[in-house]
Amino acid sequence: MIKKSLYLKIVGTFISVVLISIVVSYFITPFSFQQEDIFQEEISKITSGVADLVEITRPENIPYLVDTFDDINFDVLIADESSVFYASQNAPMNITDSTIKSIINKSNREPQMLKHGRDPVRTVGVPITLAGKPYALIIQIDYEDEFDDLQQGIFISLLLVLLVGSLLILLASRYLVNPIRKLTIAAKKVATGDFAVRVKKKRNRNLDEVGELITSFNHMASELEKLDQMRDDFVSNVSHEIQSPLTSIKGFTKALRDDVIPIENQKEYLDIIHQEIERLSRLSDNLLRIASLDSEHHPYNPSSYRLDEQLRNSVLTTEPQWQRKKLQIILEVEPVEIYADEDLMEHVWLNLITNAIRYTPESGEINISLNITEDEIKVLVKDNGIGIPQEAIPNLFGRFYKVDQSRNRSVEGNGLGLSIVKKILSIHNFNIRVDSKEGIGSTFTVIIPTQTK
Ligand code: ADP
């Protein structure tokens, strides 16, 4: 429907414009004949030419000469004050004596306009001398035929424009309307959930508005496709993360219930069940946090507070974990204030320190330090753990991303921690950088611009 109406609108507009032009020009053309300037020069030339011809012709031959003028719609009257010397068939006979007198008495050959109205006939007079006697030569020129020819010519050319133009516009509007029709079909497909659809674009269309529209549409479709893919991945990742602890809980509880496990090993199995439940609980905490951070209305309450104290507290909070692994924690901080959401930032430090503990073997070392310059405060969390392969670094902050899926099961991660860290930092307009070497260790640097204070 849209296609048809746009198509018809373009064709209709063109045809109406040409039709209006035809009608207007048909009525306007006659007015150009009243523009005397157009005629003056031509009439002047013709009249003096005819006057010269008449003067050099012998008086008895003048009727023959004038007869030939008749064929070209010239009518001639030669008269003096008292009599008509010669008058052609349609010569203007209603010229008064005084007019004739005034023409004869003219000192130059400048033609004198005798009358002109709306009709395309012009009458002019010039003085001539025949056999030594002064006469008035009156010439009547009829432009009727020229006028008709001109009007017809304009009419025919406009009709041709209408015909050829209509044909061309029929073809051209297809070229204009086709991409819009394709876009409509594609938009309908997107509305039904088919995000793989793309509209093909001709090369020469790249720069015009329709080309831009197609580019934007394709971009929108690909973004929707990515979002859709992300949603699918998210659902399957969540299901997977829930499924694996549930499977082990199910297996171990069944074994306990069926008395398959000797009494002395039961506590060990209950510990595993407890760990799996904790894992599920962490997953649900993280999922809730992600949902809250993703929503427009997540709480964000920034204030000025002491960053060094917050880092010290985070180290204390994680003490049981690093003590258990006999890690050495070195905290090198000096008093400094930042302006940020204290609760959210605490989550960032806990996450980075927990990761450092998780991915550093026993007796390793974790170094937490500050680097303060005029423009920014850098917080470095450095470990000498297993490190991260270079190719994994760009994906590190993706949801559910784990460098080594199999290894991760034993270290309790769910791949959400760094994505939450990144989200919190981007809410604050803070940045994070990762430098890491496999087998050597990793440094996570949080960059806090001081202008945000
Ligand atoms: P997880 O809960 O699995 O730790 P994160 O999002 O916090 O999830 O981290 C994503 C992945 O990045 C981890 O699975 C781990 O492979 C890697 N990683 C994060 N921090 C470190 C670190 N300090 N040393 C080595 N690898 C790390």
pLDDT digits (tens, 9 = 90+) for 332-346: 999 999 999 999 999
CA dihedral 208, 210, 216, 219 (to 10 degrees): -100
Provide the total of helices (H) and of strands (E) in the chain, helices listed first.
12, 12
pLDDT of residue 108: 80
d(CA 219, CA 198): 9
Q: What is the average pLDDT across 264-277?
A: 92
pLDDT of residue 452: 46
Residue in 359, 419, 420, 424 to alter for ligand 1 test, most ligand atoms within 8 A of Cβ: 359
Determine the Cα angle at 117 with ends 114 and 119, to 5°: 115
pLDDT of residue 43: 79
Per-residue CA distances from 175 to 161, 181, 204 (Å): 20, 10, 12
Most confident range (mean pLDDT) of 63-67, 96-100, 111-115, 422-426 is 422-426
Are 283 and 297 in contact by the 8 Å Cβ rule? The answer is no
In the chain, % of residues over pLDDT 70: 92
Per-residue CA distances from 169 to 22, 91, 173, 184, 205 (Å): 18, 52, 6, 22, 18
Residue predicted with more confidence, 276 or 208? 276
Residue predicted with more confidence, 175 or 135? 135
CA dihedral 204, 209, 214, 220 (to 10 degrees): 140
Give me ligand 1 centre to Cα 306, in Å: 27
pLDDT of residue 205: 62
Does 388 sit in the ligand 1 pocket, CB within 6 Å? yes
Hey, whose CA ends up nearest to atom 11 of ligand 1? 402
pLDDT tens-digit readout, 365-399: 999 999 999 999 999 999 999 999 999 999 999 98
Hey, whose CA ends up nearest to atom 8 of ligand 1? 415
pLDDT for 310 beyond 90 = yes
Residues paired with residue 128 on neighbouring β-strands, in sequence order: 135
Q: What is the average pLDDT across 238-267?
A: 91
pLDDT of residue 296: 76
Hey, whose CA ends up nearest to atom 4 of ligand 1? 413
Q: What is the largest CA-CA distance in the chain?
A: 157
Q: What is the average pLDDT across 296-304?
A: 87
The minimum-distance atom of ligand 1 relative to the CA of 444 is: 23
pLDDT of residue 453: 45
pLDDT of residue 39: 67
In eight-state DSSP terms, residue 73 is: T
Are 73 and 139 in contact by the 8 Å Cβ rule? The answer is no
pLDDT of residue 1: 46
Residue predicted with more confidence, 25 or 426? 426
* Whole-number average pLDDT of the chain: 87
pLDDT of residue 170: 83
Residue 341: count of CB within 10 angstroms of its CB: 19
Does 417 sit in the ligand 1 pocket, CB within 6 Å? yes
Give me ligand 1 centre to Cα 328, in Å: 19
Phi-psi region of 133 (alpha: psi -120 to 50; beta: other; left: phi over 0): beta
The minimum-distance atom of ligand 1 relative to the CA of 385 is: 24
pLDDT for 106 beyond 80 = yes
Tell me which H or E stretch contains 84: strand 84-87
Q: What is the average pLDDT across 225-247?
A: 90
The values of phi and psi at residue 407, to 5°, are: -65, -35
pLDDT for 69 beyond 80 = no
d(CA 336, CA 350): 19
pLDDT for 35 beyond 80 = no
pLDDT for 277 beyond 80 = yes
Residue 128: count of CB within 10 angstroms of its CB: 22
Residue predicted with more confidence, 130 or 394? 394
Does 441 sit in the ligand 1 pocket, CB within 6 Å? no
Hey, whose CA ends up nearest to atom 21 of ligand 1? 355
Residue keyed to tokens 């023409």: 103
The minimum-distance atom of ligand 1 relative to the CA of 419 is: 6
Residue in 355, 360, 432 to alter for ligand 1 test, most ligand atoms within 8 A of Cβ: 355
Does 414 sit in the ligand 1 pocket, CB within 6 Å? yes
pLDDT for 314 beyond 80 = yes
